[in-house]
């Protein structure tokens, strides 16, 4: 396994900052959602594009984990549970990416970009159900409440991943970095 180069880590850190800033702009929209776990739907295109760009640049397993930990450190200041959600989502994304054969194929990069935000929805539900309890404990008994938004977030992230990868390749940005 190749190690990360400084330019890969720098690029990944810039992507994380961009993901955080763009996600933070959406905070006023979060207030309209009745269930906090659904907030991942709003940030799915941003997270999907960010993960896709970073993995496309590095082509290394571990990129999603690094992003998950870094973004988790930032949003963990709002709710510590979100650190664990982001870190586990990044780790799970990398595990699934490895099981698919790594990030050499564009298809696997797109899947990883879509999985990262989608995995966060069930993670929030289950972590909240077992730490906070209450309404979250009742909600996890109805899988449709978790499944539909998860699929929706996956689709939105997949579309944004495809779009950003097309622009990235069309502009041949990768060769300039």
17-36 pLDDT, tens digit each: 999 999 888 877 777 776 66
Q: Which helix (H) or strand (E) holds 90?
A: helix 80-99
Is the pLDDT assigned to residue 177 strictly greater than 70?
no
> How many angstroms separate the CA atoms of 31 and 112, rounded?
28
Given the structure tokens 């930032």, which residue do they identify?
A: 74
Q: What are the E-state strand segments in the chain?
A: none
Distance CA 157, CA 30 (A): 18
67-126 per-position pLDDT tens digit? 999 999 998 888 888 899 999 999 999 999 999 999 999 999 999 999 999 999 999 888
Residue corresponding to tokens 């390749």? 169
Q: Taking the domains of the chain in order of start, what are their residue ranges?
A: 6-25+36-169
Mean pLDDT of the chain: 89
- The tokens for 123 are 């993670």
Query: 6 φ, ψ to 5°?
Result: -60, -40
């Amino acid at each position: 396994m190749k190690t990360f180069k400084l330019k890969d880590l720098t690029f990944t850190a810039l992507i994380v900052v961009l993901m955080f800033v763009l996600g933070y702009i959406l905070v006023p929209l979060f207030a309209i959602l009745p269930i906090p776990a659904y907030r991942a739907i709003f940030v799915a295109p941003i997270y999907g594009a960010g993960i896709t760009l970073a993995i496309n640049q590095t082509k290394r397993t571990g990129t999603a984990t690094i992003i998950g930990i870094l973004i988790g450190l930032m949003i963990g200041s709002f709710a510590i549970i979100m650190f664990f959600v982001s870190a586990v989502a990044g780790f799970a994304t990398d595990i699934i990416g490895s099981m698919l054969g790594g990030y050499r194929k564009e298809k696997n990069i797109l899947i990883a970009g879509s999985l990262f935000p989608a995995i966060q929805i069930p993670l929030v539900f289950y972590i909240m159900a077992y730490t906070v309890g209450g309404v979250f404990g009742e909600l996890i008994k109805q899988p449709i409440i978790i499944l539909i938004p998860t699929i929706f977030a996956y689709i939105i992230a997949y579309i944004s991943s495809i779009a950003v990868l097309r622009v990235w390749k069309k502009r041949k940005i990768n060769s300039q970095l």
